[in-house]
Amino acid sequence: MDALLIILIIAVFLGLPLLQIRKQNKRVREIRAFQATLAVGDEVKTSSGIHGVVSAVHEATVELDIAPGVTTTWDKLAILEKVNDPQPEVLEPGTDTENGNPS
C-alpha cells in the first residue's frame, strides 16, 4: 500500500509539470506559425501592448506604423497577435444612442 501511494505522489509531481510544459510548447508553436504568416496591412499587438499596422515584413523584423508618420521596427518574436477591431454596433433608426431604447 505504501509503495502505491509513493508511486501516485511521484506521478502527480512529475505528470502535472509535463502537461503544463506540453501546453506551453503548443502555444509557442501557434505563435511562431502566426508570426510566419504576417503580411503588410495586418493590425497587430506587440508583447509590450503597442498596437500598429504592419508596413513591411523582413526575415527577422517587422515594421509597424503606430501613428501617422511614425514607423517602428520590431523583432518578429515581439508580435503576439492580430487585433480584430470590434464592428461598431448598428442601431435601428429611431433608437436612443446611449441605451438602444426607442426614443
Tens of pLDDT, residue by residue over 54-72, are 999 999 999 999 999 999 9
Domain containing residue 2: CATH number: 2.30.30
Q: Give me the mean pLDDT over the 77-94 stretch.
A: 74
Domain assignment present for 7 = yes
Domain assignment present for 97 = no
DSSP per residue over 49-99, as a string? S-EEEEEEE-SSEEEEEEETTEEEEEEGGGEEEE--PPPPPPPPTTB-TTT
Domain assignment present for 13 = yes
Domain assignment present for 91 = no
Q: In which domain, by residue range, is 21 found?
A: 1-82
Domain assignment present for 54 = yes
- 32: which DSSP letter? H
Q: Number of structural domains, the chain?
A: 1
Is the pTM higher than 0.75? The answer reads: no
Domain assignment present for 94 = no
Q: Given phi > 0 = left and psi -120 to 50 = alpha, else beta, which region is 27?
A: alpha
